[in-house]
């Protein structure tokens, strides 16, 4: 069965995580994605010893399923071949700072003159317009400016940055969505389109509840720790037996509270005046937390999860990386992780994608090595591992066509 993007060619000028995350999903949907980088300036997430630039886990995860081309965009010849590839591709994706592609002669207007059907996607940190267009972006300052840190942490804490750069995968998924819509539009119009996906604006979308509270109620929710942002449900993360082991538990309604009390062996609390309703339980949240902690502290998080889930009470372990890769029964049953034998890094398990489509099994389980797929490496003659290139624009066209 053909995948949705079979036959679509994608030229990938992205680096770090947001852009590669988008093109990784395009590859999983069947697109032929060619990642462009140079030996002199490879993707900054590559790492390793000596000539092996493929050892870094940060690089391998978002660059599955792609081919790789090393092109020195600092040379006239390199820019010529890159432009020739762009003239023959369906989608071009870049996340450089504003104006970089224009300076290279690869901006949207220049490419569109040669390829009217191209879907050209820019993924800037802030946007290509507005007073912040020249700002440098990184996960921590994007999240802070978008308001994340204001609502993260406990009431008496200072602002707490997230431990992971949420803007990156968010922008990647949004760009995938926008690209698919642009391709759908092209089937009707026969014309390409320019698409801009600013990470800053996408990050602001996470603030939906706080922004609506400001708009409608003029309320500042502040920092509330693990409590429910709506102020209605009892929930928390509770200490369990073992070293730094925890479980998350939530009580959505009276029936779940009754079942929780039965499992914990305190049925007398079901109708206790302090806990008889959602309102009363939230009002006495600290007392509820103490009761639950007294029970969870004597049990493993796995037991807490299983016993409560068996009684239809939302609960789960607070998982670390090893829990997810080694022990999570759901991910194992779904075969979410699959072993891949990389030609230079060796055997490692990689993530799949969070959806299934008939016929796509294993399509994303390859990781590009610099220049191994498209031998158009335009680097200096003394650069490690590569000889001086002899590629021509005609070869570039053939490579872009998947030959």
Structure tokens at 331: 């991910």
Tokens linked to 103: 């300076």
What angle, rounded to 10 degrees, do the helices at 18-28 and 167-189 form? 50
Alpha helix segments (H runs only) across 205-284? 208-216, 254-264, 278-283
Local structure of 69: helix, strand or coil: strand
Tokens in use for 279?
A: 């309102």
168 is catalytic: yes
Euclidean distance between CA atoms 277 and 188, whole angstroms: 55
Give the CA distances from residue 15 to residues 3, 36, 78, 260, in Å, rounded to whole numbers and listed in that order: 25, 9, 18, 47
Angstrom distances, CA of residue 367 to CA of 352, 355, 364, 372: 12, 19, 8, 11
Helices (H), 146-217: 148-151, 167-189, 199-204, 208-216
Catalytic residue among 32, 68, 168, 289: 168
Separation of alpha carbons 25 and 20, rounded Å: 9
Query: In whole angstroms, what is the distance from residue 394 CA to residue 373 CA?
Result: 16
Tokens of 297: 């502290």
Give 258's contacts (C-beta < 8 A, 6+ positions apart).
270
Give the catalytic positions in this structure: 168
């Amino acid at each position: 069965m053909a995948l949705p993007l079979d036959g679509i060619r994608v030229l990938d000028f992205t680096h770090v995580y947001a852009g590669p995350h988008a093109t990784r999903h395009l590859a999983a949907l069947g697109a032929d994605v060619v990642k462009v980088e140079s030996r002199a300036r490879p993707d900054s997430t590559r790492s390793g010893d000596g000539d092996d630039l493929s050892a870094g886990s940060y690089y391998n995860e978002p660059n599955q399923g792609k081919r790789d081309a090393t092109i020195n965009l600092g040379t006239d010849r390199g820019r010529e071949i890159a432009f020739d590839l762009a003239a023959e591709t369906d989608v071009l994706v870049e996340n450089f700072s504003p104006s970089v592609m224009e300076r290279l002669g690869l901006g949207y207007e220049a490419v569109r003159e040669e390829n009217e059907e191209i879907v050209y996607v820019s993924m800037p940190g802030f946007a290509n317009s507005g007073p912040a267009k020249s700002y440098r972006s990184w996960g921590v300052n994007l999240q802070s400016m978008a308001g994340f840190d204001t609502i993260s942490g406990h009431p008496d804490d200072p602002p707490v940055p997230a431990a992971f750069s949420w803007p990156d995968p968010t922008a990647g998924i949004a760009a995938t969505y926008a690209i698919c819509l642009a391709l759908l539009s092209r089937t009707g119009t026969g014309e390409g389109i320019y698409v801009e996906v600013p990470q800053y604006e996408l990050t602001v979308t996470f603030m939906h509840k706080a922004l609506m509270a400001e708009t409608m109620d003029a309320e500042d929710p502040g920092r509330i720790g693990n409590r429910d942002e709506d102020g209605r449900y009892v929930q928390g993360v509770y200490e369990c037996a073992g070293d730094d082991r925890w479980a998350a538990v939530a009580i959505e309604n009276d029936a779940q509270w009754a079942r929780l009390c039965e499992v914990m062996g305190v049925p007398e609390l079901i109708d206790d005046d302090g806990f008889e309703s959602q309102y009363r339980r939230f009002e006495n949240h600290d007392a509820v937390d103490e009761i639950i902690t007294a029970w969870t502290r004597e049990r493993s998080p796995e037991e807490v999860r299983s016993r409560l889930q068996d009684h239809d009470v939302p609960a789960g372990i607070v998982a670390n990386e090893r829990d997810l890769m080694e022990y999570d029964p759901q991910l194992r049953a779904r075969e979410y992780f699959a072993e891949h034998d990389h030609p230079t890094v060796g055997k490692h398990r990689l993530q799949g994608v969070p959806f299934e489509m008939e016929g796509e099994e294993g399509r994303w389980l390859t990781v590009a090595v610099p220049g191994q797929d498209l031998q158009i490496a335009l680097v200096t003659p003394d650069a490690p591992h590569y000889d001086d290139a002899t590629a021509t624009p005609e070869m570039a066209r053939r490579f872009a066509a998947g030959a």
